[in-house]
Amino acid sequence: MAMQMQLEANADTSVEEESFGPQPVSRLEQCGINANDVKKLEEAGFHTVEAVAYAPKKELINIKGISEAKADKILAEAAKLVPMGFTTATEFHQRRSEIIQITTGSKELDKLLQGGIETGSITEMFGEFRTGKTQICHTLAVTCQLPIDRGGGEGKAMYIDTEGTFRPERLLAVAER
């Protein structure tokens, strides 16, 4: 019995790990959905498991060769692969407690931002040229790698330079401060 529970737990974990991002509709074949039915779904314009999971049953039944029973089974299997539930306040609070504030390198700016730049979100900076936007980005690329107790995130940075002006020596100067 314990072995069976462990196998089920491992199966649940592997499904969760694999369910990150859009999944091709062919993934339903691994869940016991007939390959011909998957092909019918693709021909009807359903190319991801998510598209199937969020589709009304009536829409699936309108596909030639998909009966109501098949539609129920397809939707049930798709729902197992796609997280479709609600987030409780407790879960939301837990996720918020895991957010790290990364320092901008300026105590005053960090104070305005209520602690720094939050992880797990997108932050946009805009303004006149020569106002420090690039300098803040360079600083964040360095500080995000610092230990948490020093205002960092113990992470890594990916710097996307759309203008071709990135100079690594500028990061080195920031890191040496």
Helix (H) or strand (E) holding 101, with range, is strand 101-102
Q: What span, in angstroms and rounded, lies between the C-alpha atoms of 154 and 28? A: 38
Per domain, the residue ranges of the chain are: 22-81, 98-176
pLDDT at 20: 57
Q: What span, in angstroms and rounded, lies between the C-alpha atoms of 33 and 11? A: 18
pLDDT at 3: 45
pLDDT at 54: 94
pTM for the full predicted model = 0.55
pLDDT in tens, 54-92: 999 999 999 999 999 999 999 999 999 998 778 889 988
Q: Which CATH number among 1.10.150.20, 1.10.3720.10, 1.10.1060.10, 1.20.1630.10 corresponds to the domain 22-81?
A: 1.10.150.20
pLDDT in tens, 90-110: 988 998 999 999 999 999 999
pLDDT at 10: 47
